[in-house]
Chain A
Amino acid sequence: MNIDASSLATLGGGIALAGGLAGSSLGIAISACAGAAMLGQEPKQLRNVIILAALPMSRAFYAFIFLILILTSVLPGLASGQAPAGSGFAVFAVGLIAASAFGFSGAFQGTVCAAGICGLSKTKGRILTNAIMLAVFVELLAVLGLVFSIMALSMLGLM
């Protein structure tokens, strides 16, 4: 079996998107679990529950941006033969950065949102702002993962 540089780079982008989708799924599942229990108790909090439970969804889009970037900007450089040997494997390694950032930040943002949702009925929805603020801290890690992996690609001269 011959795995050339382009297919290794595509694998990197694919793993990043897989990590993003997994992180989003886990995070939404964790927060929506708490949301269903909260709505059983107080159906009026539907709007706040939906806002908080939807926050981990953004990982999938960050990962999609990264995959499109690899497919459109990195692959033509690899295929032209200008890049040094082993560049495909380096792109795969950079994909692991993005996958780890999106996967873990999505899943653990879900725990923060779940805790916020649990506090909704007690505070009559006033916890929403504070819970979003805390969730944005975890969001930051995903944005940093996207930025740092793009930075690594440009430091390798592949973008």
Chain B
Amino acid sequence: MSRELFKFKGGVHPPEHKTESNGRPIHAAPLPKKLVVPLRQHMGTPAKPAVNVGDRVLKGQLIGTADGYISAAVHASSSGMVTAIDLQQVPHASGLPDLCIMIETDGRDEWIAHGPLDYQAMAPTDLRMQLRDMGIAGLGGAVFPSAVKLDPGAHICPTLIVNGGECEPWITCDDVLMRHHADEILQGVAVMRHLLGSTEILVGIEDNKPEAITAMQAAAQKMDFAVEVVAVPAIYPGGGAKQLIETLTGKQVPSGKLSTDIGIQVFNVGTAYALARAVHHGEPLISRLVTVTGHVLRPQNVEVLIGTPMHMLITLAGDRDGTTGVLMGGPMMGMPMPDMEVPVVKATNCILVQSNELFPPLPKALPCIRCTRCADVCPAELQPQELFRFAKAGDFGRAQEYHLFDCIECGCCSYVCPSHIPLVDFYRYAKSEIWAREKDKRAADLARERHEFRLFRLEREKKEKAEKLAAKAQAKRAEIAAEPTASGAPDAEAKKALIAAALARAQAKKAEIAPKNVDHLPPDTQREIEEIEARRAKIRALARQPLESEEKP
């Protein structure tokens, strides 16, 4: 290998803990009785339910359609009956429930009709749509819909990097996948290359995975295009997309930009494998490889159907006493799970069972002493101690000036902090506060715009009404003026004539609408009416006579 490698700034070397789980063969997890498939498993808009409660679904059947461009579909992981579409606990740090489709499996695991796609004959747009409808999303962690990333659009990506770095301790699912499915990974890469038009394909694998490197190199020999498998030095977070780009090419992704802006696209090996399954077998993304490790008897990698509850996998790997919690992901970036019932989703690369021996609780934090060890290890070249100061004080504007949004939340700063401050938690807090404020600002701008338009509309309506009335009066006046009798008459006379005419019209109208309930009356009613009329006439006559008392003052 002649490729010159580069070194990114910072990084740490936490204990790897990879050998616990990477030696065992891949097993398929047993079929659970109940699958809970969340509709929000990817970045972007959540999928829309496409089935009803009581429907029978087949394995691989679409149950949630992609909603919009940045979205992906979700599918039934096995055959069975849809029993509920409601809020269920999902693997999220908030512990809040989200909309899920619950399927009671029938044990038959019956596939829906499916077959390979002739991707080379398909129009790129159709192929991308197909991949979106097959639910393909990035399996490296961010779960960004792959169809969007495979759209070269305005950016041509001559370099395609396949990320087999897997730098996070404990996790070995990518390592094991590369050892066992290297050929299929590269078949997926061929599809990516077809869509992106990339000319240079690099596979970056950390040098602590020699078996995976050998397997991938052997597979690369068989491909009809050049694939360079590069061993990169093992350092955390060397498998981060931006860090791997820098290691392999020496290029840095500018602040606030995407890797595609410098002509590089990065995909995880798991995504490439899922893509190959989708294109060559017509299988949507309904299962993934999950590392179950930590405080369990048999740490291993399992092929798991999306929607399988996590406790099943922990039982499969042999649960032990003294479990203190479960992380989804590794110890550096993982999220604590609200409970063990939550389902495996597309983002679940690892289930890390914690115990006090393996993960002793963090000692209480001490004040920041500004030792800047965090700045030394920050791979994004930020000043974590400053970001911490601003985030803690709620000075989010300054935090943004210090490039808070370039933070990849890798956790290196928290790892080295001698005061044990949970720094990343502060950055996450600051980021979500900033996003919430931006959302509020957009809502306020919309409200202002709508209010201003309403005021304008009311004003316009008032003006239009006045104009209409004026025009009507004008027309009437012109009509009167046109009449020959009124010609030459002074204004007052014309007005009088106008009033007289209006009165005459009103009289005519009144005469027209004669009361209709007095026709064909029986004689006694007729007599009664006549009596009343006579009384009225008398009263009227009386009223016309001046009162005697008034005559004699």
Bound pair: A and B? no
Interface residues of A (CB under 8 A from B): none
Chain B residues within 8 Å of A, Cβ to Cβ: none
